[in-house]
Amino acid sequence: MNKDIEAVGPDFDKAKMLEMRDKTRSVIYEIAANVYPGMLQEDAVSMAKDALEKNEMVQGWHETLVRFGPNTLKTLGASSIPVVTLKSDDIFFIDIGPVLDEWEGDGGDTFTVGENAEMQRCAQDVRRLFHIVRREWLTTRISGKSLYQFATREAEKLGWELNLDWSGHRISDFPHEVIYNGTMADIDFRPAPLLWVLEIHIRHPTAGFGAFYEDLLLDDSYF
């Protein structure tokens, strides 16, 4: 079963996938650097699309997401609250899934502006949790399903709720969806490196914000 789900195309190239990963993360930080308090979320999304176009990274298989403040609670596929402006003390995340030539990228990260300590902790903890979960995958060889059960428990220890609507997926030479369109949390075997994206979306249990981070499952040498 896992051999079918982890299949790749005949021209699959590890080096190209890693190059695409680097380019994807570079564009995320380029977008983040141009987000500022007082900006409308809709304008940030337009700016993000312009950044992708400038870098010749067409939007491939999911929409470009830039979410401000209360919209950082929103689950995958949910519509954002319209006309949300980034406040002086606020949080936002970026999630892009571009395609360059035949290679897919996918990445996300969370950023803060101002002095809100809980928002800053949320942005820090989503990265921290990503690496806690990634190292569990690296050292124990557990299945994707068990990995997200572990992630749920670890999020609770840090004081956050884990949103399992974002629970990892395949990535490959485009389009990966013809091979497997389910989630990592559904698989009963250990996901292979380079072929899977680990997604972590946490929410504050009472306040109106959350944080998101995603990257490829890879060993420590890539971070």
pLDDT tens readout for residues 194-204: 999 999 999 99
Give the pLDDT score at 181: 84
Residue written as token pair 């972590």: 200
CA distance 170 to 185: 11
Residue written as token pair 């250990």: 190
pTM above 0.85, yes or no: yes
Give the pLDDT score at 96: 95
Give the pLDDT score at 1: 52
Q: Show the beta-strand stretches assigned E in 86-192.
A: 90-96, 98-100, 103-104, 107-113, 161-162, 169-170
Backbone angles phi and psi of 28, in degrees to 5: -55, -45
Amino acid at 199: E
Burial annotation 73-94 (CB, 10 A radius, 16+ → b, else e): bbeeeeebeeebebeeebbbbb
Mean pLDDT in consecutive groups of 10 residues from the start of the chain, 223 residues? 80 91 96 98 97 84 90 92 98 94 91 98 98 98 96 98 96 80 94 96 97 97 96
Count H helices, E strands: the chain?
A: 5, 10
Burial classification of residue 212, based on how many CB atoms lie within 10 Å of its CB (0-12 exposed, 13-18 middle, 19 or more buried):
buried
Q: Domain 2-222, CATH 3.90.230.10 — does that match?
A: yes
CA distance 209 to 203: 6
Give the pLDDT score at 160: 98
CA distance 83 to 179: 37
Percentage of the chain lying above the pLDDT 90 cut: 82
Residue written as token pair 């402006």: 85
What are the boundaries of each domain within the chain? 2-222
Taking alpha carbons only, the member of 200, 171, 177 closest to residue 16 is 171
